[in-house]
Amino acid sequence: MTDYKDKHGIKVQAVSSDPTNPIEGQVWFNTTTNKLKYKAPLGAGSWANGGNMNSGRRSGASFGTQSASLYAGGRFAPGPGRTAYVESYNGSSWSETTDMPAAKDRQRGAGTSSAGLHFGGEPETPDTQTWNGSAWSEVNNMNTGRHDHMAGGVQGSALAFAGEGGPSNTTIGNTESWNGTSWSEVADLNTAREQGCGGGTSNTEAICFGGGTPANMNAGSQLTETWNGSSWSETGDLNELKIYGGGFGSTSSAVACGSYNPSPSSWANVEEWNGSSWSEVANLSQGRYFTHGGSGTGSLGLLAGGQQGPGTTNMNNTEEWTKPPGVEEISTE
């Protein structure tokens, strides 16, 4: 019988678990699952419609995963304005759950739908709350109250950066690190901005992209910075200007979507980050902005709500981003 080495000229490494970061074309045999696997080129990502929110709104805090997410607060327009209303997503439908302690919009969240963190927002506030899956609890405030900021991380380890706030209520580059108990001031962004988006897995790994700068607030920005736990570094720019934006992911894989660009034809445009550069990928089915965040990872993400234009009714539409995995099984038959 011909074996793999006879056919391909190389031996296959036997391992008890799949490699953490396999390179494209790498082959291995998993002795735990008794499967031969290889790292295939990543497939193209695509969007699919999910269940609609019960109440369309914009500028709320979204956090969690594609199949288990929370959308907290936001703004009804036209309507009564800011709300404390919260909805939970189970992968197919949204359900009303416990309201936030106070109505607010333009805030941010981190974590999961059962262990979340919520902070900042408008009216200008440093308030921080934790979420346990059924109730909110007040915890220690941020050092600098802000709104239109960006964030990443989980309930016990998060990062808040940029936004509009401080004593003079201006665009800031301030960064704060959450350790599960309190916030601490750390190194500022290289470029102060607001109304952009970000992501990350903890208070030592984050990405900030897009957002308006004091010199270019209306058009937005293409700037991208990554955080290594102690400082921010400028890296590859977005291909288009993006402000009032949404997105999700980490420093190695992220998606920028649901953002304002001066041209309405660009509101559905999406870009994907591969760890070093941005590429144009599949558009949203419905263009929008004022999304202010998103949920999930660079391979399984969720975007809900937003607004389709000045003075328009807020959206209740949900879209799910899926990028096929790059590890596949090889038939041994």
Assess whether pLDDT exceeds 60 at residue 273.
yes
Angular region, 34: left φ>0, alpha ψ -120 to 50, beta rest: left
Handedness of CA 303, 308, 311, 316 (dihedral sign): negative
Tell me what percent of the residues of the chain surpass a pLDDT of 90: 72
Of 66 and 308, more confident: 66
pLDDT category of residue 333 using cuts at 50, 70 and 90: very low
Q: How much is the pTM?
A: 0.86
**Whole-angstrom distance, CA of residue 297 vs CA of residue 63:** 11
Mean pLDDT score, 69-88: 91
pLDDT category of residue 39 using cuts at 50, 70 and 90: low
Q: Select from 222, 325, 320 the least CA-distant residue to 277.
A: 222
pLDDT category of residue 178 using cuts at 50, 70 and 90: very high
Write phi, then psi, for 270 (nearest 5 degrees): -130, 140
* Residues in the chain, overall count: 333
**Whole-angstrom distance, CA of residue 83 vs CA of residue 77:** 11
Give residue-wise pLDDT tens across range 102-142: 999 999 999 999 999 999 999 888 999 999 999 999 999 99
pLDDT category of residue 98 using cuts at 50, 70 and 90: very high
Residue 21 has a pLDDT of 65
Residue 279 has a pLDDT of 95
Could you count the other beta carbons within 10 Å of the beta carbon of residue 24?
A: 10
Mean pLDDT score, 216-233: 89
Of 71 and 77, more confident: 71
pLDDT category of residue 219 using cuts at 50, 70 and 90: low
Mean pLDDT of the chain: 90
Assess whether pLDDT exceeds 80 at residue 259.
yes
- Tokens representing 235 are 């890296």
Q: Select from 260, 258, 190 the least CA-distant residue to 224.
A: 190
The three-state DSSP-derived secondary structure of the chain is CCCHHHHHCCCCEEECCCCCCCCCCCEEEECCCCEEEEECCCCCCEEEECCCCCCCCECCEEEECCCCEEEECCEECCCCEECCCEEEECCCCEEEECCCCCCCECCEEEECCCCEEEECCECCCCCEEEECCCCEEEECCCCCCEECCEEEEECCEEEEECCEECCCCEECCCEEEECCCCEEEECCCCCCCECCEEEEEECCEEEEECCECCCCCCCCECCEEEECCCCEEECCCCCCCEECCEEEECCCCEEEECCECCCHHHCCCEEEECCCCEEEECCCCCCCECCCCCEECCCEEEEECCECCCCCCCCCCEEEEECCCCEEECCCC
Residue 20 CB partners (closer than 8 Å, separation 6+): none
Contact 36, 332 (CB under 8 A): yes
Tokens 């405030």: give the residue.
141
Residue 15 has a pLDDT of 85
Taking the C-alpha atoms of 294, 298, 300 and 305 in order, what is their torsion angle to the nearest 10 degrees?
Answer: 20
**Whole-angstrom distance, CA of residue 172 vs CA of residue 158:** 18
**Whole-angstrom distance, CA of residue 286 vs CA of residue 269:** 10
- Report CA-CA distances (Å) from 224 to 98, 193, 221: 35, 11, 9
Residue 331 has a pLDDT of 47
